[in-house]
Amino acid sequence: MASNSFGEILRITSFGESHGAAMGGVIDGFPPGVIIDPDFVQQCLDRRRPGQSKLVSQRREADKIEILSGVYDNKTTGSPIAFIVRNSDQRSADYEALSYVYRPSHADFTYHQKYGHADLRGGGRASARETLVRVAAGAFAMHLLKLFGIKVLAYTHQIGNIAAQENLSELTQAIVDVSPTRCPDPAAAAQMEEMLAELARHGDSVGGIVACAITGVPAGLGEPVYNKLSATLAAAMMGINAAKGFGVGEGFAAAARKGSEHNDAFVVENGRITTRTNHSGGIQGGISNGQPVTFQVAFKPPASIARQQTTVDKSGKEVQLSVTGRHDPCVVPRAVPVVEAMAALVIADFYLRNLIYTPFRKTVEI
Amino acid sequence: MASNSFGEILRITSFGESHGAAMGGVIDGFPPGVIIDPDFVQQCLDRRRPGQSKLVSQRREADKIEILSGVYDNKTTGSPIAFIVRNSDQRSADYEALSYVYRPSHADFTYHQKYGHADLRGGGRASARETLVRVAAGAFAMHLLKLFGIKVLAYTHQIGNIAAQENLSELTQAIVDVSPTRCPDPAAAAQMEEMLAELARHGDSVGGIVACAITGVPAGLGEPVYNKLSATLAAAMMGINAAKGFGVGEGFAAAARKGSEHNDAFVVENGRITTRTNHSGGIQGGISNGQPVTFQVAFKPPASIARQQTTVDKSGKEVQLSVTGRHDPCVVPRAVPVVEAMAALVIADFYLRNLIYTPFRKTVEI
Amino acid sequence: MASNSFGEILRITSFGESHGAAMGGVIDGFPPGVIIDPDFVQQCLDRRRPGQSKLVSQRREADKIEILSGVYDNKTTGSPIAFIVRNSDQRSADYEALSYVYRPSHADFTYHQKYGHADLRGGGRASARETLVRVAAGAFAMHLLKLFGIKVLAYTHQIGNIAAQENLSELTQAIVDVSPTRCPDPAAAAQMEEMLAELARHGDSVGGIVACAITGVPAGLGEPVYNKLSATLAAAMMGINAAKGFGVGEGFAAAARKGSEHNDAFVVENGRITTRTNHSGGIQGGISNGQPVTFQVAFKPPASIARQQTTVDKSGKEVQLSVTGRHDPCVVPRAVPVVEAMAALVIADFYLRNLIYTPFRKTVEI
Amino acid sequence: MASNSFGEILRITSFGESHGAAMGGVIDGFPPGVIIDPDFVQQCLDRRRPGQSKLVSQRREADKIEILSGVYDNKTTGSPIAFIVRNSDQRSADYEALSYVYRPSHADFTYHQKYGHADLRGGGRASARETLVRVAAGAFAMHLLKLFGIKVLAYTHQIGNIAAQENLSELTQAIVDVSPTRCPDPAAAAQMEEMLAELARHGDSVGGIVACAITGVPAGLGEPVYNKLSATLAAAMMGINAAKGFGVGEGFAAAARKGSEHNDAFVVENGRITTRTNHSGGIQGGISNGQPVTFQVAFKPPASIARQQTTVDKSGKEVQLSVTGRHDPCVVPRAVPVVEAMAALVIADFYLRNLIYTPFRKTVEI
């Protein structure tokens, strides 16, 4: 059934296969009258693009966005914003040899089982190339967040077993982008680069963790029960290719905590009620409390590795496989802008939802 | 906006406040002609009920379910299944003292900010009592899973820093339920019981991790891109009260793995293509591969603790608070059936979705 | 699949069979802090109830509503509003004889084909008794409309071939309710009453038309393209039992008009831009223009008639049938409050949707 | 909020302004493995195109479709099918003079009120050019209907006060397309052509009625209560530009009927249970009964007329207006393929929904 949309009030619908004519999306529900900077949208795409550093896939795609509708004279009209990115570098030949082989931990087998067919050119919809649609849509959403005073910043927290020491309050995108690893801790970043170079030599890959902080989120975003802000963020992040885990605030570390340690006491600061600590990651009862919303996303190692692997083809015959396409040794550096984009889409959607309550909140005496 | 529903084809809509007249739900989209065992539904509710052991809240609720529609002569009719559970033990007095105090890490403050009011009797919709709706709905979904040959089994994997050693292939619900901790590892369970008793003496609480395995899931469930099986499971689990983290397969541990370690090679076993290992947790590219679907959910320590805490009331005045209601020192034992219920709802929904493709898959030559 | 909900931001989910334990609904997305008058809700139900006049079914149901959640101290909390109405007068015996007979123009056959079963006690979900859920939900929505200064008024425009002459600007609900026909034209109402008495003597039934005007609707409600205000009103009305036609403004009469006759010229009145005429029924391009929204709904004659009819049972054997239950000779008088309720739900939903655009509309220079 | 999508299982999302870069759509939920004939899709678009006869707008658009995704080797992949049609003939100059004038019965005013801006180039999203998206999407849906043995046929039933006499059982698309009016009754068609020529001379326009019959629909499509097949068809049709009325089966004529006349008795024919008559239009209780689904859609006269009209501009100043663009004197001939397309989308969606119940229907004993 229809399942390529994300969001309620602000909704992105995605289309395109990595080796087809184009990738693209339709953003429906974007409010009218918002000034759009097309260069900013392109810059966001450039941050995700392959070929930008030695650490990522050398596939060369210009990834130039064309906006087809919904923006007139650089201002949104309230109509759906459609955009496409043509696929220019479609080396289907790389994939032909694979056509009948189930690559380990790839989606070839599951797609085959689900759809009864296999358009294996680059993985079809399973290709991480689809994430450019998210990044473009997120770039539009960021225009809204800017109006609302909200900022999203993600970065590489861990690659393999190397974890960064970061100081959240001083982070900027410029600092994050200093290293091609997108790790803001220079010492850790250096180790990560070395590890990735070593892995490349051995035809192997590795996992990692992206952390993200959203600042300026007003209290009240998120819906109780099933559509908690944390639940929707989780769905958004776990929908990203290769994501295997999600945690909000302290995440899995909270499992080992006592209530007396983990509880965030309310205090008054600068005349506003806030919390002394932020173990909750800015969300309580599924609703934002005004503190930074913080979360982490764990990614598995890329399944495509040059090292030889034993697997089977669709007839069940055992085959030896070495995946020779141009693939990233670790998805995390390029996942950083994808995480930011999905976070922006979630927050913008919940912010717009919350506008419905504004007149009711105001007229009520407590 | 409307946000108290979960699921697409099979959808549960929940209602009720913990200290109102009743909790209840409407299950829409349940197929016709399925024989329902009302005793099984009640037993599922009994597993979640407070007061069932010394480790959980002593609030006494019979939690008797009344089915109002959708079932006739113990068979589903295809119409919405509505059910209610009356609230019998509403000690609002416990909450009156709290009415104007923002309990640390509770939803009082965020609800106040969102709705401009506070029905603080038991936390309203933020109360974990709402999870009985999920358990009842999940019990109906389990009738479908049984028809499909699918089983869901969750258990306590960790409480505080005590983690179980479990043998997944031998687990049964009976084994899980031997200890009131719902930890199937007797040694760990004993330690956990001791820890919880100790915490109770000190008026404190602790977090933990529930693990879950779903067996018998056919390959092909889940939708690519935004509605991956893993993403929807994440949303389902992170929507449970106190959940702070979610991982599928190896979860966060996958971040430290190499591709050559983590990849699940395809092999032929008993004439069927399957994978040699299951690091992926039964999901590749967001779609089930026929292996058991495995995941973990991290829960924070309950926010309600008897120990004195400093916080503020709604005027911003600092107050000392000791939460004296009847609360669980750890949510994990009672979260086990809630995790199972939400898992059942997700799998049943995706299974029904997939039936749409059945005729198309069959007629296609590959 | 799940299909018993209506609305986007404000959503009603309905449940219950006419001869089951209870009918009920869940209203999700209702804003917080709105004062509710339970007596008004009950009065709306009483206007729909059978047995209220000699012209309608003599089935006796107290139809007392019980509100289970979402309202505290007569004020909405922002949580789902659930309500039930117990079924007290379930004369299933009336239906037993029918159990295997397909009543002409009833839903027995189509339900049987769809669900592979037949809970024929009163038609199950196909019974017009389900409309009490709509009336109750609409009564809640009317509380919102009152805050927004919007009024909904429906009335009987035609029964059989007797059409009323009405003066829209002078209508009130009191005038509509003078005659049990709910036709505000006394001369036509008298003729209608006579016709209905005559039909009752002959064991026959007749169709009719309900007209409706919604005043106070601000310009800007409705979504372009697929979710036009007119399209959603059409779906709402055609979802009512026995509805066969819908027209907005001049409806089908517009088909015979010239553009020069039908166009509504813009003029300035009292300093506001409005239209000189209202052939459009207050909607242009699918969006309200500030004029009264007017529409008509055509209903077929009730299928249940005492006159003998020839039909078949489920084995295909020809049978003679005389439907002896307590049925209305014309649905139109009791459909009037149902039309109002569905209209209220649609307008309230679109009004809430439009609040999202408020801040964007304001900041834009034209 | 997001509102440019239509359908549940099979969903079309539309984008594009008539004077922007392109119109297009994304069809999500289309089953895999279906052979697509791109020429057929183009032919459907050609039937809707302006400039095809002297009776319609002379705007010249090649309206060539480009399929961007979801189809590989002329077979659907199960991924979203995206397509675009570039806008080639954008005479914005025609509209510049109008920019600040509210054209009578156009959407200029309501868009202005809703969005706080006006992209008046051709009406933006309110332009009937958007219907090409529906026609293209419907053409894809017709590939599914063909597999299911379902046919959709619409035709001009009435223009102005000239109504056709048609013999439904003998109609074909070829017969419908003989006259540029798309009226299959030659005598009526001749009168209509004369009337339209006369209106063109006087710079006026006229309304009309499109009738449609869908044959081969199996019993069981449609959902009870709010999502009746008739209700969803009504929403689909009332969402078409200029639609003002909808009727299923006898439509508004049913209002004047008695039950004894209107009821459709069940009979056995060729060993199958069917109805002797089809006053219901193939739908009972909102669910198809296996008979042809028949309905009518009333369209108002086009608002754009060359005759001088008095109206106001956005400052409220009275202005004289003569709309000099290239406009149709009657929308009905070109609405015929649009009605067919929307009907195809509705039926395909409901057919796919119903596949979910197949296994449950079969295993149930009645």
Q: Do A245 and B264 touch (CB under 8 A)?
A: no
Q: Do B9 and D78 touch (CB under 8 A)?
A: no
Q: Which of A211-215, A325-329, B184-188, D183-187 has the lowest mean pLDDT?
A: A325-329
Q: Which of B256-260, C111-115, D28-32, D217-221 has the lowest mean pLDDT?
A: C111-115
Q: How confident is the model at residue C49 (pLDDT cuts 50, 70, 90)?
A: confident
Structure tokens of D110?
Answer: 């309501």
Give Cα C14 distance to the centre of its chain.
14
Axis-axis angle for helices D332-355, D229-238 (nearest 10): 150
Q: Does C97 touch chain A (CB under 8 A)?
A: no
Q: Does C158 touch chain D (CB under 8 A)?
A: yes
Least CA distance to A359: which residue of chain C? Answer: C355
- The answer to whether residues B56 and B86 touch, using CB atoms and an 8 Å cutoff, is no
Range list of H helices, B86-205? 93-96, 108-115, 131-148, 173-176, 186-201
Task: Among D79, D352, D357, select the one facing B32 at the smallest CB separation.
Answer: D357
Residues 116-135 of C with CB under 8 A from D: 116-118, 123, 125-126, 130
Q: CA of C34 to nearest chain A CA: how many angstroms apart?
A: 8
Q: Please name which of A83, A21, B246 lies closest in space to residue D20, comparing C-alpha atoms.
A: A83
Residues 303-362 of A with CB under 8 A from D: 352
Tokens 């002297």 correspond to what residue?
D54
Q: Do D13 and A21 touch (CB under 8 A)?
A: no
Judged by DSSP in three states, B176 sits in: helix
3-state helix, strand, coil in chain C (%, to 5): 35, 25, 40
Structure tokens of C353?
Answer: 């949707």
Distance CA A326, CA A312 (A): 22
User: Which chains form contacts with chain B, at 3 or more CB pairs under 8 Å?
Assistant: A, C, D
Q: CA of B39 to nearest chain D CA: how many angstroms apart?
A: 22
Judge whether residue D87 has pLDDT over 80: yes
Q: A102: which residues sit within 8 A by CB, 6+ positions away?
A: A108, A109, A112, A311, A312, A313, A314, B266, B273
Q: Which of A331-340, B283-292, D98-107, D187-196 has the lowest mean pLDDT?
A: D98-107
Choose from A6, A13, A17, A127 for mutation: most chain D CBs within 10 A: A13
> pLDDT for B60-113, tens place per residue?
678 899 999 999 989 999 999 999 999 986 555 555 555 678 999 999 899 888
Distance CA C301, CA C328 (A): 9
Task: Among A224, A352, A357, select the one facing C31 at the smallest CB separation.
Answer: A357
Q: Does C34 touch chain B (CB under 8 A)?
A: no
Q: CA of B336 to nearest chain D CA: how many angstroms apart?
A: 30
Q: Please name which of D42, D156, D135, D40 lies closest in space to residue D345, comparing C-alpha atoms.
A: D135
**Where is pLDDT greater, at D357 or B337?**
B337
Q: CA of B17 to nearest chain A CA: how many angstroms apart?
A: 11
Judge whether residue D238 has pLDDT over 90: yes
Q: Do B2 and C116 touch (CB under 8 A)?
A: no
Q: Which of B11-20, B24-33, C44-53, D214-223 has the lowest mean pLDDT?
A: C44-53
- The answer to whether residues B308 and B323 touch, using CB atoms and an 8 Å cutoff, is no
What is the domain-level CATH number for residue C154? 3.60.150.10
Q: CA of C143 to nearest chain D CA: how many angstroms apart?
A: 22
Least CA distance to D113: which residue of chain A? Answer: A32
Q: Do C32 and A356 touch (CB under 8 A)?
A: no
Q: CA of B361 to nearest chain D CA: how many angstroms apart?
A: 7
Task: Among A352, A363, A364, select the one facing C356 at the smallest CB separation.
Answer: A352
Q: Measured between alpha carbons, how far is residue B42 from residues B121, B186, B212, D211 in Å? A: 26, 27, 22, 53
State the distance between the two ends of chain A, measured CA to CA, in whole angstroms.
44
Distance CA A200, CA A329 (A): 6
Positive or negative: CA dihedral D198, D203, D206, D212:
positive
Chain C hits for B119, Cβ within 8 Å: 72, 77, 79
Judged by DSSP in three states, B237 sits in: helix
In C194-308, where do the E strands start and end? Answer: 208-215, 243-248, 266-269, 272-275, 283-284, 287-288, 293-299
* Secondary structure element (H or E) that encloses residue A65, with its range: strand A65-69
> pLDDT for A217-257, tens place per residue?
999 999 999 999 999 999 999 999 999 999 999 999 999 99
DSSP state of B156: E
ipTM of the shown complex: 0.95
Choose from C79, C144, C364 for mutation: most chain A CBs within 10 A: C364
Q: CA of B175 to nearest chain C CA: how many angstroms apart?
A: 36
Q: Please name which of D276, D289, D286, D258 lies closest in space to residue C305, comparing C-alpha atoms.
A: D258
> pLDDT for A10-57, tens place per residue?
999 999 998 899 999 999 999 999 999 999 999 999 999 877 777 777
Q: Please name which of D111, D18, C226 lies closest in space to residue A68, comparing C-alpha atoms.
A: D18
> pLDDT for D288-339, tens place per residue?
999 999 999 999 999 999 999 999 998 899 999 987 766 789 999 999 999 9
Distance CA D44, CA D177 (A): 12
Q: What is the largest CA-CA distance in chain A?
A: 72
- The answer to whether residues B357 and A115 touch, using CB atoms and an 8 Å cutoff, is yes
DSSP state of C101: B
A-C C-beta contacts closer than 8 Å: 43
Task: Among D110, D161, D354, select the one facing C287 at the smallest CB separation.
Answer: D110
3-state helix, strand, coil in chain A (%, to 5): 35, 25, 40
Q: CA of C329 to nearest chain B CA: how many angstroms apart?
A: 28
- Cα angle value D246/D247/D248 (rounded, 5°): 130
Q: CA of A322 to nearest chain C CA: how many angstroms apart?
A: 44
> pLDDT for A201-211, tens place per residue?
999 999 999 99
- Overall average pLDDT of the C276-287 stretch: 97
Q: Do D22 and A72 touch (CB under 8 A)?
A: no
Burial class of residue C93, CB neighbours in 10 A (0-12, 13-18, 19+): exposed
Distance CA D10, CA D7 (A): 6
Task: Among C33, C358, C363, select the one facing A364 at the smallest CB separation.
Answer: C33
- Overall average pLDDT of the B278-290 stretch: 97
Q: A42: which residues sit within 8 A by CB, 6+ positions away?
A: A64, A65
β-bridge mates for residue A310, sequence order: A320
DSSP state of D290: S
- The answer to whether residues A258 and B158 touch, using CB atoms and an 8 Å cutoff, is no
Structure tokens of A135?
Answer: 């990044």
Q: Which of A83-97, A272-286, D245-259 has the lowest mean pLDDT?
A: A83-97
B-C C-beta contacts closer than 8 Å: 156
Amino acid at A39: D
Taking all residues of chain B, what is their mean pLDDT, rounded to a whole number?
A: 91
Judge whether residue C363 has pLDDT over 60: no
Q: B176: which residues sit within 8 A by CB, 6+ positions away?
A: B153, B154, B155, B156, B182, B183, B184, B336
Q: What is residue C326's predicted lDDT score, i.e. its pLDDT?
A: 67
Q: Please name which of B332, D178, C23 lies closest in space to residue A254, comparing C-alpha atoms.
A: B332
Q: Do A34 and C357 touch (CB under 8 A)?
A: no
Q: Measured between alpha carbons, how far is residue D226 from residues A152, B249, C27, C239, C331 in Å? A: 41, 41, 14, 5, 18
- Overall average pLDDT of the D341-349 stretch: 98
Least CA distance to C2: which residue of chain B? Answer: B29
Task: Among D9, D28, D125, select the one facing A4 at the smallest CB separation.
Answer: D28
Q: Do B205 and A6 touch (CB under 8 A)?
A: no
Distance CA A30, CA A9 (A): 8
Q: Please name which of A236, A19, A28, B273 lies closest in space to residue D77, comparing C-alpha atoms.
A: A19
Judge whether residue B366 has pLDDT over 50: no
Single pTM value for the model: 0.96
Task: Among C31, C78, C360, select the one facing A34 at the smallest CB separation.
Answer: C360
Amino acid at C335: A
Q: CA of C9 to nearest chain A CA: how many angstroms apart?
A: 9
Task: Give the count of domains, chain C.
Answer: 1
* Secondary structure element (H or E) that encloses residue D71, with its range: strand D71-72
Judge whether residue A295 has pLDDT over 80: yes
Count Cβ atoms below 10 Å from residue A73 Cβ, excluding itself.
9
Structure tokens of C4?
Answer: 């018993």
Axis-axis angle for helices C332-355, C38-48 (nearest 10): 140
| Percentage of chain B lying above the pLDDT 90 cut | 78
- The answer to whether residues A305 and A106 touch, using CB atoms and an 8 Å cutoff, is no
Q: Do D15 and A29 touch (CB under 8 A)?
A: no
- The answer to whether residues D329 and D206 touch, using CB atoms and an 8 Å cutoff, is yes
β-bridge mates for residue D28, sequence order: D11
β-bridge mates for residue A283, sequence order: A288
Structure tokens of D34?
Answer: 């279906």
Q: What is residue A53's predicted lDDT score, i.e. its pLDDT?
A: 78
C56 Rama class: left (phi>0) / alpha (psi -120 to 50) / beta? beta
User: Which chains form contacts with chain D, at 3 or more CB pairs under 8 Å?
Assistant: A, B, C
- The answer to whether residues C182 and C196 touch, using CB atoms and an 8 Å cutoff, is no
Axis-axis angle for helices C332-355, C229-238 (nearest 10): 150
> pLDDT for B118-127, tens place per residue?
555 555 788 8
A-B C-beta contacts closer than 8 Å: 422
- Cα angle value D199/D200/D206 (rounded, 5°): 45
Q: How confident is the model at residue A287 (pLDDT cuts 50, 70, 90)?
A: very high
For C45, phi then psi, to 5°, come to: -65, -40
Q: Does C75 touch chain B (CB under 8 A)?
A: yes
Count Cβ atoms below 10 Å from residue B86 Cβ, excluding itself.
16
Task: Among C355, C360, C363, select the one facing A356 at the smallest CB separation.
Answer: C355
Q: Do B28 and C352 touch (CB under 8 A)?
A: no
Distance CA D170, CA C327 (A): 39
Show the domain range for D198: 5-365
Q: Do B105 and A314 touch (CB under 8 A)?
A: no
Q: Please name which of C202, C218, C286, C207 lies closest in space to residue C249, comparing C-alpha atoms.
A: C286
